[in-house]
Amino acid sequence: MKPLALFLLAAATLAAAPKSNKSVKTDLAPPEQFKPVEGGVLPLGLFQVPEGLEVTVWARSPMLANPTNIDFDSQGRLWVNEGVNYRIYNVGGKRRAAGDQVIVLSDTKGQGFADTVSTFVQDENWTAPLGIAVLDNVVYVSHAPTIYKFTDVNRDGKFDPAVDKKEIFLTGFGGQDHDHSLHALVTGPDGKFYLNSGNCGGVVTDKSGKTFRVSSGYVDQRGGTWPFDPKTAAGSKSDDGFVWSSGFSARINVDGTNAEIIGNGYRNSFEHFPSSFGDLFQGDNDDSSSCRTSYVLEYGTAGYTTSSTANYNSVKRLGQSIPRAHWRQDDPDTMDVGDVYGSGSPTGIAVYENGALGDAWIGTLLNCEPSRNTIFAYKLAAQKGGFALNADTRKDLITSNPGREFGGTDFHKIQADASTKPNERILFRPSDVTVGPDGAIYISDWYDSRVGGHQTLDTTCSMSVTLVSMP
């Protein structure tokens, strides 16, 4: 019987409170150009996984660097967005002058680890593209303000503009080079894309000619660049007749037609994931110890409706707890908050429905938490109109930090100095998670002593891919 596995990619994560820097700092020397080096591997003994699973290495730098999002194609190849140029305005310029890229990893010999890597496409204007989806020979890449569509006409795994085709799928999303902008897109059981954006807003028109206007208060305040002033969208109806604000999720046909917003009121939801039953889940972060894992009730609002949800006292209902008031719970049309687990920076999310790891893992929601050096696992169970997502249903799928001694985060900034040798346990920064065609779980890891805050400290951008399998 071949090994049953969960794979993990290691490298630096992207979802926390931004700083107020908009352009490249002129007082900084240009950064040293990126040179691939071997590294990014934590001692495997640092990882803790549930009984019956073990951790091994699947791939490591210099094969890849700073992964932001991952997806498998029908041939079992792993596609990876790289973010070497993450936040160029905070480091004085580009680490990779030719721009960031999409690479493809393969295990061609069936030995249980990647043995080949190739570059599909590189763009000098890319600074950490945050989403990727692969359907047959068509590759979709999210890089605010645009989702690009690449068709690999000759199917050679390398984009050639003389042969292949590049199109704009959607554009108009706010916050280029910003943590709270356009994120991932994934396919659902209905054959449609599910995409999401943080609260940078957008004015986006689909291929049907329908325009959506989503407001944001971030422009000119929190870094990044905008193709429009999102404040002009405030109070404006979209073509569907509704007024939308803050972060949002949308559903759209794969040809770009018939888009619809199916949820809003997020602060910075990094990724959504639909189960095979069509139930949609997300992780969302906020500054004041109120990160959450939630079920997305279609067409509901998620409660982030003001410039600061920390002003909960003004809207707190009689007998409400602070977490419920924080996310405007018990207000009309507000979806249930789910599991509010405290400070953090949730990123990639997935639902495990393949039985390769055993019956105990079927129907498990997985949520990456790089600030906490872990991936949460929730055994999904229906509860009233949603799902039981709370401290009682949450456990760790994998963690390097069982003692919860955090560092290098927006909420606990010890060891965030590049001159200080970090505690190895905080270097595990999972950025995405997906299920492979073999039933394994693959996890991309940003491997850095700092997470979020528009900052990285690992100038080598090194990372690894580790495998968690049944012995």
1 burial via Cβ count (<10 Å: 0-12, 13-18, 19+): exposed
> What value does the mean pLDDT take over residues 385-399?
96
Look up tokens 């794969």; give the residue.
Answer: 254
How far, in Å, CA of 456 to CA of 443, rounded?
19
Quick check: 209 pLDDT over 90?
A: yes
> What value does the mean pLDDT take over residues 125-146?
96
Q: Show the domain range for 301.
A: 5-469
How far, in Å, CA of 129 to CA of 176, rounded?
9
> What value does the mean pLDDT take over residues 9-32?
48
List, for residues 429-442, the tens digit of each pLDDT value.
999 999 988 888 88
pLDDT of residue 119: 98
Give the residue with greater pLDDT, 253 vs 342.
253
Q: Round the average pLDDT of the chain to a whole number and report it.
A: 85
Quick check: 236 pLDDT over 60?
A: yes
The sign of the dihedral angle between the CA atoms of 51, 57, 61, 63 is negative
Look up tokens 């390769």; give the residue.
Answer: 356
Which pLDDT band holds residue 12 (cuts at 50, 70, 90)?
A: very low
How far, in Å, CA of 293 to CA of 269, rounded?
10
List, for residues 278-303, the tens digit of each pLDDT value.
999 999 987 667 899 999 999 989 98
How far, in Å, CA of 418 to CA of 433, rounded?
28
CA 79 to chain CA centroid, nearest Å:
15
If one counts the domains in the chain, the total is 1
Beta bridge partners of residue 465, listed in sequence order? 9, 59
What single string gives the DSSP state of each residue in 28-73? SPPPPPP---SB----GGG-B--TT-EEEEEEEBTS---EEEEEE-
> What is residue 163's three-state secondary structure?
coil
What's the CATH number where 14 sits? 2.120.10.30
Contact by Cβ (8 Å): 460, 37: yes
